[in-house]
Structure 1
Amino acid sequence: MQPRQFSMLDRLITSADQALRTLVPGAANAGRPTPANGRTDAEMSETERKHAAGLMRINHTGEVCAQALYQGQALTAKLPDVREAMEEAAEEEIDHLVWCEDRIKQLGGRTSLLNPVFYGLSLGIGAAAGKISDKMSLGFVAATEQQVCKHLTSHISSLPVQDEKSKAVLLQMLEDESKHATVALEAGGHKFPLPVKLAMTGLSKVMTKSVYRI
């Protein structure tokens, strides 16, 4: 039996649904239970809670960007297997999105007001990368995931030492993101030169500094 061939309109409708599930709080559902389950919700000062919530808000926005990036790439990917890989990766990232949102609520915080802006920018970047070539698209995934891994490693060490719930979430995310980067390169992704990676680092700093508080 031949797999169904989706038209561009089908993919646009799917993308619109994905955007709503990503941007509307509580609309997405995780396929895996949060790693925070079973961890003690330790006592923290108000300052520590605000700091932890700020870090988790950054990571939540990072997952919003990942969703948009993958959706944009899926819209313009040329090979069906690459498109399917982008869509599968987006589904896996939903777990991270929900886990971060849940933890932010537990810490008494809220998700970033800038999420729609970053979603739109990431969607455009993803679509442009996919339009150029599948190799470029996969390379962008790898480079982005490598940036995310650096942020996660930094945030794990910056969290209040007693915040085991947030740490458990970030550790699982780090494992998943590292795998996504490796898979993208092994699938033929282009290895970006250092100047491009430095530019991406600069843009990520703008995001992290703004989202930490807004």
Structure 2
Amino acid sequence: MEQVMHETAMEPARGRAAASGWRRRMGRLDAILAEAGRALQVLDGTVPHERANPAGPAAADDPALTDAESRHAAGLMRVNHVGEICAQALYRGQALLCRDEGIRRVLLRAAEEEVDHLAWCRQRLDELRSRPSLLNPLWYAGSFGLGLAASRAGIPYNLGFMAETERQVEEHLDGHLAALPDPDQRSRRIVTQMRDDEIGHRTTAEDHGAVPLPAPVRGAMRLMSKIMTTTAYRI
């Protein structure tokens, strides 16, 4: 009789534990479904953005580009668009498993600003009568997975990954400012604003406790960036 009474008394606790476990599983499933929906919006260009394009509206007196200049500018802006696809996926992947709510907000805010960059690059590609990279789904998936992996290294290295990413992007955008055709002031204004925002993301990560990444990790990041930029310029 005592055993029966004990088991009966335990039933409510078991029920609460089961309900709590069910809520956790549903919460994780909801988060995964939300990220899948976000990925589709990013890839098809429908994700909403906040800020106006720094290039402003196109005007009839904008300097004309030759066919070669247009192709080159489009290749560079396609690379920049891929970079924003990767940044969006990277930061959302890091945020998904981040247990510190403050740092999670830092990552998601950076991702929101990268959405602006994504829209600006897409608009400029349309103006240049070009297209985004055909490999964008691959870039997104790989970067999201990298973000998930980075998030497991702990908050200081998680932020260090963000800071190093932005540092390398700054260098990359400085190179594009030098490489863009001289008449293409519209692309130049977009890239300049992007670079300034990336500097802000880097300093934010450093202010929140980012630590430098090991040299082999930094080298691997540069190698992967080189492969991505070379491929995205053409495909």
Tell me the TM-score range normalised by the shorter chain: over 0.9
Equivalence for 2:19: none
Q: Distance in 1 between matches of 2:58 and 2:167?
A: 27
Of 105, 109, 120 in structure 1, the residue corresponding to residue 126 of structure 2 is: 105
Q: Distance in 2 between matches of 1:182 and 1:168?
A: 22
Of 71, 92, 106 in structure 2, the residue corresponding to residue 50 of structure 1 is: 71
Question: How many correspondences in the alignment?
Answer: 209
TM-score when normalising by structure 1: 0.93
Identity among equivalent pairs (%)? 44
2:210 is aligned with 1:189 = yes
Equivalence for 1:173: 194
Q: CA deviation at 1:38?
A: 5.1
Equivalence for 1:23: 43
Superposition map of 1:1-214 within 5 A: 7-25=27-45, 27-37=46-56, 41-214=62-235
Q: CA RMSD in A?
A: 1.6
Q: CA deviation at 1:20?
A: 1.1
Q: Which one has more relative contact order, counting CA pairs under 8 Å at least 6 apart?
A: 1
User: Match for 1:24: what amino acid?
Assistant: D
Q: CA deviation at 1:143?
A: 0.5
User: Mind listing any 5+ residue stretches in structure 2 that lack a counterpart?
Assistant: 1-23
User: Mind listing any 5+ residue stretches in structure 1 that lack a counterpart?
Assistant: none
Q: CA deviation at 1:29?
A: 2.5
Deviates more, 1:68-77 or 1:11-20: 11-20
Q: Distance in 1 between matches of 2:164 and 2:44?
A: 27
Pair member with larger Rg: 2
TM-score when normalising by structure 2: 0.85
Deviates more, 1:149-158 or 1:190-199: 190-199
